[in-house]
Amino acid sequence: MKRSEINATHRAASACFAAHHWALPPAPKWDITDFGLGDFSTHGLTLVNLAEEPEYCEKLMYARRGQTTPCHTHAKKKEDIICRSGELTLALWPTRPASPASPPGGLIVPVNGTLMPLAPGEKLVLPSGSRVTLLPGVWHAFYPTSEECIIGEVSTANDDLADNFFLNPDIGRFPGIEEDEPATLRLISER
C-alpha cells in the first residue's frame, strides 16, 4: 500500500468515527491493510485496537462500500462482530468453503442472542446495532452494504500472526508500504 493511501484512510476513518461520536483512546493502535493483495479499494479494512489483553480484545473497524474482508477463520478466537453504524453483510460457512469434505447442511449462529440457521455461504445482513457471534472454525467474509460502515469486534484473545487462516493463500495479514509521502501515523505492523 502507498503511505498516501494509508494517510487518507486514517483521515476518512477518523472523520467517520467522530461523526458517529466514537471517541478513540489516547494513542490508539491502528491497522490499515489491503491484506497484501495490492487493492485496498476492493480488499481493505481499517482496524483500531481498543483493548488487547491476554483474555480478550476489542476492535473498532471501518470499511467503505466495495471493500471486502477476505474469507478467513480462526482456530482459537471466538468473536462478536457488531455493526455499529451503517449496514454490514457477512457470508458464513461451517467449514472451509468449497471443500469436498464439507458436510451437508449449514450452521446455526447467534444473531443478537437468538439462534439463526444459515445455509453455507448464505448472506447475513446486520443493520446498525446488530451483532453475530462466531465460534472458532466458522469461515467468514464481510463487507459494508452502506457507503461507510463502523464495525465492532469483541473477542477472546487476538493473535493476528498465528490465528488468521485465509481461504486465499496469497493473503498476508499486514501490507507492505511504499513511502510516497510522510507518515501521519505508524501502524501496528511498524512498531
Q: What is the CATH number of the domain that holds 167?
A: 2.60.120.10
pLDDT in tens, 58-102: 999 999 999 999 999 999 999 999 999 999 999 999 999 976 665
The residue segments making up the domain with residue 69 are 3-190
- Looking at the 3D structure of the chain, how many domains does it have? 1
Q: How confident is the model at residue 106 (pLDDT cuts 50, 70, 90)?
A: confident
CA dihedral 49, 46, 27, 127 (to 10 degrees): -60
Residue 113 CB contacts under 8 Å (≥ 6 apart), including other chains? none
pLDDT in tens, 40-59: 999 999 999 999 999 999 99
Q: How confident is the model at residue 145 (pLDDT cuts 50, 70, 90)?
A: very high
Largest CA distance in the chain: 52
Cell numbers describing residue 177: 508500504
- One-letter identity of residue 98: A
